[in-house]
A and B are shown apart, each in its own frame.
Chain A
Amino acid sequence: MSLLCVSDLKTHFIFRNINNQLREAKALNNISLSLDSGRILGIVGETGAGKSLTAQSICGLLRPPAKIVGGTVQFDGQDLLTLSPDELNEIRGADIAMVVQNPRSSLDPLTRIGDQLVRIHQNHSGGPISVSQRKALEMMVAVGIPDPEQRQKAWPHELSGGMAQRVLIAMALMNEPKLLIADEPTTGLDVTVQAQILDLLKVLVIQFNMASMIITHDLGIVAHYCDDVAVMFAGEIIEQGSVCDVFLNAAHPYTQSLLASTPERLNLGSKPQIGGQPPDLFNLPTGCLSQDRCAFMTDICKTTPPFKTIADGHSARCHHAKPNKTKTQKKGSRSDG
């Protein structure tokens, strides 16, 4: 049994519009994924594909009008969706930790960073303050903050973006979580700093044997830092598998065109690969959601495509996907952070 097992998760936005009509935006549809300790899952997709919403649904961080209307989230043997807010609070920040996109706006501007680290440890484990303080120092060392004794007295505004992100990661690690969710952890950071933060995340996942989920729109990050990948489109996972399988042998036309639009594979002069707009979430088409943008569309695409197995652990939601008989080359030359 995997540490995290999400099955058929559906999150919809349900509200009444100005004419008092009931509207329903189907933002997440039938999300199923599982995650084991020591592995990093990358979730990629374009804006509005439901990447962050997936993370928020798992953690129970949704606010109305967003509502989970179906599915289960099994974490460590418990169904998170049936827990009361108090029970959920005990898990969040302790067993499940989250690192969000904008580090500076996620820190309390009126509390020194050392105290913020101590606070999150106290909230979950109690015990003497001195233990929490020692732990805070330990974590600041673990995430590579230079001069931690001095820095724990620093205010959030005194930190650079990269340092603030390190503090946030330290905070996430304070209670030694089993699952670390990083939502666009390096967007807004410079590329040289991005490399530092991602290297750090990768080392920590191995060191603490955590399961980790990295949400990003950068295919390069997934290619080099994740073990598995789930590609999202219009609130659905349309392809998932190991990074090598999906990136080198993409079976879904959308994944193929997404990969073909990366700058290094893009060939200016040929027509753009993905035309059109993502479907309207209020009025999803029947059948395959990417039918309007797909070059291989046929009549069968008007019916809901099944998840087809391409190779061991690699599946795609497309009628036209064919099982792959040749074995994908293993990441032989891969450099580990």
Chain B
Amino acid sequence: MADVILSAKNLVKRFPTGKANSFVNAVNGVDLEIKRGQVLGMVGESGSGKSTIGRTILRLTDPTSGQIHFDGKDITDLPSNKIRPLRKDMQMVFQDPWSALNPRMKIGDLIAEPLKIHYKMSRSECADRAEALAKRVSLSTDFLTRTPNALSGGQLQRVCIARAIATNPKLIILDEPTSSLDLSVRAGILELLQEIRDETQAGFLFISHDLGTIKLISDQIAVLYLGHIVEQLPKDKLFDAPSHPYSQALLSAHLPSDPNEKLNKLTLTGEIPSPIDLPSGCAFHTRCPVAVDDCQTSVPMSEKISNGHFASCSQIAHGNNIIQRANKI
């Protein structure tokens, strides 16, 4: 399939803890697919492996096992000198623009840096492109000669986005690009990302913990828990009919800004377990309001619920509305 830009199969990433036979199980068998012009939103709590997945599919960290195909090519075991030329097609925008940019470089040079590296452009070509890119991300060209400390967080994030799109990448990974920004600034950045997606038809992986932001920008949403994708569904379904109890809990913890909107209360007890000792069976059973004994032993398989909607929970077959059932219990 030509329009699948990235696919990962059974991706596993474990980090050694320093003790013998003890690992942080950050990513445990994740399958995902990003198509051209599609935004895959990835949502989950801290420690659920969101960022690790982002870094692993770019080969910024090497996967423990599994396969990564980028643009039809298997890049899982590609040596770093072969990966390097591919980097211009896959870019990343990080959460904290203050630490992502070299404080001593001028904004113009920062934006042109990828062009210098990948296309060996001349100084004047670089300057022209940097100016065009700054205009594209609605950044005043006066800033091109300033250093990052002269810019606000929103402006710096625009610089990071300009850097990311400088080489016309086919895949952009956005790791919480708006969570350090104020509400009003966030709106502008999301707007810009949407425009860039429409223009370039690049595939986006949008990582966030904020359901509102995820819903706004994504086409497809993956819900992550302890390194597993527990549910994958089209964006409209997340606020409508999530199947997995964890997705429902996440949704019920989301606070809409309308005070009259009724909250469906499904407050989970406890916190996300340590990824060093993963729970047996279903990873969510320690906090699940509808868990049965069976959940402690058997690992649930991903089941198709409707087109583009998959969930891994053995209890889904027994009734869809888990909140109602949990409140009865």
A residues within 8 Å of B by Cβ?
Answer: 46-47, 160-163, 190-196, 199, 217-221, 223-224, 243-244, 247-248, 257-259, 261-266, 268-269, 272-275, 277, 329, 331-335
Contact = CB atoms under 8 A, between A and B. Distances in A.
B263 interface: yes
B213 A263 contact: yes
A94 B210 CA distance: 36
A271 to B, nearest CB: 8
A244 B183 CA distance: 20
A193 B257 CA distance: 19
A47 B154 CA distance: 12
B61 interface: no
Contacts of A219: 183, 257
A193 B259 contact: no
A83 B211 CA distance: 46
Nearest to B217: A268
Contacts of A261: 183-184, 186-187
22 contacts: A46-B182, A47-B182, A191-B253, A192-B250, A192-B253, A193-B271, A195-B252, A195-B268, A217-B182, A221-B255, A223-B258, A223-B259, A247-B257, A257-B184, A262-B256, A264-B256, A264-B257, A268-B216, A268-B217, A333-B261, A335-B263, A335-B265
Interface stretch (B28-36, B101-109, B168-176, B188-196): B188-196
B96 interface: no
Contact of A190 (B152, B194, B209, B269): B209
B19 interface: no
B267 interface: yes
A268 B272 CA distance: 33
Chain B interface size, under 10 / 10 to 19 / 20 to 34 / 35 or more: 35 or more
B250 A263 contact: no
A273 B212 contact: no
Nearest to B181: A47
B259 A244 contact: yes
Interface string B244-285: 000001101111111111110101110110000000000000
Contacts of A221: 255
Given A220-B256, A263-B215, A275-B188, 13 more contacts: A47-B182, A190-B46, A190-B271, A244-B259, A248-B260, A261-B183, A263-B210, A266-B187, A268-B190, A274-B184, A333-B262, A334-B260, A335-B263
Given A190-B46, A218-B255, A262 B271 contact: no
Contacts of A220: 254-257
B327 to A, nearest CB: 12
A129 B219 CA distance: 59
